[in-house]
A and B are shown apart, each in its own frame.
Chain A
Amino acid sequence: MMGASPGAWLRDLRSEARSRFDAMEWPTAELEDWRRTRLGGIDLSSFVPEAPGDEEARCAGGGEPAASAGFIRFSEGRCAEVSIAARWAELGVCLSGLASVPAERRGAVESLLRAALAGSGDRVAVWHFAELFQGAFLFVPPGLRIEEPFYADFEEGGRFAASQVAVILGEGARATLISHRSGPGGKAILSDARSDFLLEAGSSLRLFELQSLEADSLGFHSVGARLGEGSSFDRLGVDLGGGVSRTRVECALAGRGSDARLDGVYYCGSGQSVDAGAALRHLAPGATSRATYKGAAAGGGNAVFQGLIEVAEGASGTDAFLSNRNLLLGPGARIDSLPTLKIGNDDVRCSHGSATGRLGEEELFYLRSRGFSAAEAKETLVLGFFEDILGRAPDAFREAALEGIRRRLAEAA
């Protein structure tokens, strides 16, 4: 095994996924989980990768990163740059391309991704693994608490992109990761991305993921997190792009007393469709979770939010809350909110709430009476609607998300 090339495990993973992929059919509306993803007449098989991926390409080393713990950047499926602060590298922190994971970490990342593949139940999800050549891997050793963020940027290209983020936090470790996935304009691509997280006992991850693909692209994203005892997973996901955008967050609260916070923002322009899903699975006693999703749809935009809190039989003392708020911005805008509770235990506190409405005429008039144009009044209220979620993100992430929403609002006007 030690003698094998650094990417051999990845090749094995791909070929296993490829055989599964070949034996599967494309998902259709018959499949419950795909029923509300508006694939319409899109021919998924037309999105073949233009060139075979290259796992051997080494990341070029950047200089010492400024104001961050480290960053890694991918351009059109290749690792363009990677850099990590020397003081963290010396303490055993690893930030690398997937194919360059050092030997001592390969077993851990391989089992993380094998578990993710095993849990992938449809052809699109398996496809990601069949084409997985590159991705960002972050490992933080036990006990290390890092306050400055790590950055992972994916500039998607080609026809098909299978980007991956994989993070493993050792016991008691703490880290922040800010990830941005964007696409080229004027060219339809399919981005079939995954993010996987393994949080050992007492560790804590703050995660900010922004997807801003262009409206002519398809964006699929599966997020999987497994939380150890007393660990804390705090994710803010912003989905702004794609003609069809589909996100599934699977959060397994597997350790006693673990804590998950899932916040989500989605914006759906005219002719776009967004299918946002979040599942919080309480498997152990005494875990807490809070999910807050907010979405807006322009006239002719169509979105659905599907949220699930599931409490396993033994998960006594569960405390879970799921909230979904939506804003309809024009005629023909539609957002369906489908929160679900599945409770297998009596000793729990679980609830959900959802509301969908329009911008208030009085609020619009108030701002206009202070000199805001009608368009600016609308923009101010929409951005304000998201502020309670975006306001807790680091400035650069928040600004990028707000700028993306602003641009899409201007396009709709």
Chain B
Amino acid sequence: MAGHLIIKGLEAGIAGKDILAGVDLEVRAGEIHALMGPNGSGKSTLANVLMGNPAYEVRGGEVLLEGEDFLALDPSERALRGLFLAFQYPVEIPGVTVGKFLKRAIELRSPPGGMSVSAYIKDLRAAMDFMEMDQAFINRYLNQGFSGGEKKRMEVLQMIMLKPSLAILDETDSGLDIDALRLVADGVNRLRGPGFGALVITHYRRILERIVPDFVHVMYKGRIAVSGGKELVETLEAKGYDWIRERYGIEEEANEGSLVST
């Protein structure tokens, strides 16, 4: 499964509000892209639209994965084609244990009757050790009563187990202490290779020091305003998003008479 993703002129919104105003982005198999930008610029909307969240409405443009019309697919089909979304706010799933949930998710990715339960348990235990998670989590209901950091680790654990070809990490680093941050980065770097690409949505430079991106993009008002290499992170750090506003936003802001919320 390769994960060559092409987004062309994507427009989308939620509840009558336009958010994405023509996103163009290409992620080739094996590349790591960082997506930055002020709050409200559309980063999470892009993540949700790519995964197929029915709460969002696509109003234009197209998304191709390996040349196939990705927007026509159900979220579950997108997942089985190799896309993974690490949620910004993972929800609790009462009554469904981590062990049972992941077993089923892997079974769905295996040929019929082709899943080895003993290999699964071995892999799960190894992945939990890697993520420094207590094995007792296997029998806990998914995300129920987990701390914020535990939920984020659980997202990365799932990513390691499900081996996607393209993962979107939606602010997985937000609210994490330095140890948890290291684990998240180790998780991504463990998968990194020709068969794994990622779109890392973040506000912070610190995660990008550990997951060094091939490309960096800044989203602004529903578009990719500027793209570059990892040196763009330094520029943003030094100049802030005001630099983007000054360069790309003045005209529109003057017209609309308001600033994007930050």
A contact set with B: CB distance below 8 Å: 360-363, 365-374, 377, 380-381, 383-388, 391
Contact = CB atoms under 8 A, between A and B. Distances in A.
Interface string B80-112: 100011010011111110000100110011000
A373 B74 contact: yes
20 contacts: A361-B54, A363-B91, A365-B55, A365-B75, A366-B93, A368-B74, A368-B75, A369-B78, A370-B105, A371-B108, A372-B105, A373-B74, A374-B74, A374-B76, A380-B93, A381-B95, A383-B96, A387-B141, A388-B95, A391-B95
Contacts of A372: 76, 104-105, 108
Interface in B137-191: 141, 158, 162
Interface residues of B, number: 29
Contacts of B96: 380-381, 383-384, 387
Looking at chain A's contact residues, is the secondary structure mostly helix, strand, loop, or mixed? helix
Nearest to A391: B95
Nearest to A368: B75
Given A370-B158, A371-B109, A362 B91 contact: yes
Given A361-B54, A368-B52, A371-B109, 19 more contacts: A360-B91, A362-B91, A365-B51, A366-B91, A368-B76, A369-B53, A369-B75, A369-B76, A370-B76, A370-B158, A371-B108, A372-B76, A377-B76, A383-B95, A384-B96, A384-B141, A385-B95, A386-B95, A387-B95
Contacts of B76: 368-374, 377
B170 to A, nearest CB: 11
B124 interface: no
B79 interface: yes
Contacts of A380: 93, 96, 101, 104
A373 B54 CA distance: 14
Across chains A and B, which 6 residue pairs bring their CB atoms closest together, nearest first?
A: A384-B95, A387-B95, A368-B75, A371-B79, A371-B108, A384-B96
A361 B15 CA distance: 15
Determine which residue in A371, A373, A386, A391 has the highest number of CB atoms from chain B within 10 A of its CB, and name it. Answer: A371
Contacts of A361: 54-55
A356 to B, nearest CB: 16
Contacts of A362: 91
A384 B93 contact: yes
Nearest to A381: B93
A285 B97 CA distance: 40
Contacts of B101: 370, 380
A383 B94 CA distance: 9
